[in-house]
Each structure stands twice: as structure tokens, then as C-alpha cells.
Amino acid sequence: MRDVLFRGKSGGTWVYGSYIKTAVGLHYIIPQNVISDDLPKYVVDKETVGQYIGIEDPMDRMVFDGDIAKSGDDEIRVICYDTNQAKYKAVPLYAYLNNAGQGGWTGYELRNDLRHEIIGNIHDDPELLEVAE
């Protein structure tokens, strides 16, 4: 069984745990493995919420939806969920920028032996999404 874990930004800080969206449109991350009558919860920016995809990079860092990775040949890729094919992919930067969030990318499937190193994410490091001219 794989771990189900989310992250999101609350007040500029990353928080990790279970993700909850309420009927009134609030988005929360609740820390996992906490036993309490007053469970801590963090309101997060819904645009920053990303799911752990179940694999680690070569440096043993957990990989989340929205991470930016660099391949061995220095190609920049964005880790994202392809809604058309229902799987996570490491999409080349040019394809991501042309079709961000829409899915339908052919190829680029991730395997458990990810060879791309995580170098940032789309929320904290938007400069990594800039195309060199």
C-alpha cells in the first residue's frame, strides 16, 4: 500500500498531511499521525496543494505534483498529473508551458526508478519555468 500524503502552503509555509476541501470551499491540510481532541489544521492556498506521487528522486526526496526536476541531460521537467491518462508524468518544460494542467501528453510516464533530481517546485521557484532564449 502506498502512502497518501499532500502538501500545501499555509501562510507561506509548507505543511504536510491529509487534504480536505470543505463544502464552503475552504482547503485544509491536517497533519497525519496526530492523536488529539483538538486536531491541528491549516488553511492552505488550493493552488499550492500537491499529492505525493509515491516515489523518491535519486537524493531520496519525496516527489510531489508540481515539483520541478532536472534530468541527467539537464532537461527541465515538471511533475504533473495527466487527467486524460490518469497518471503522473515528468513533462518537458516546453510541453508543460504550452498545455499547463490540461493533460493529454503522450509519453513521459514516471517509473519507480525516477532518474530526475528535484530542483524546486512551480510555487517557490517560478524562475525555473522561464525558457532561456
Provide mean pLDDT across the span 25-43.
87
Read off the pLDDT band of 125 (50, 70, 90): very high
What DSSP letter does each residue of 4-49 carry, written as one string?
--EEEEETTEEEEEEEEE-TTS-EEEE-SS---SS---EE--GGG-
Choose the weakest-confidence range: 61-65, 89-93, 112-116, 122-126. Answer: 112-116
Instruction: Say how many C-beta atoms besides its own lie within 10 A of residue 79's C-beta.
Output: 27
| pLDDT at position 100 over 70 | no
Q: Tell if the pTM clears 0.95, that is, is over it.
A: no
Provide mean pLDDT across the span 113-117.
79
Instruction: Say how many C-beta atoms besides its own lie within 10 A of residue 14's C-beta.
Output: 17
Q: Which domains does the chain have, with CATH numbers?
A: 6-47 (no CATH), 55-129 (2.30.30.290)
| 3-class state of residue 129 by DSSP | helix
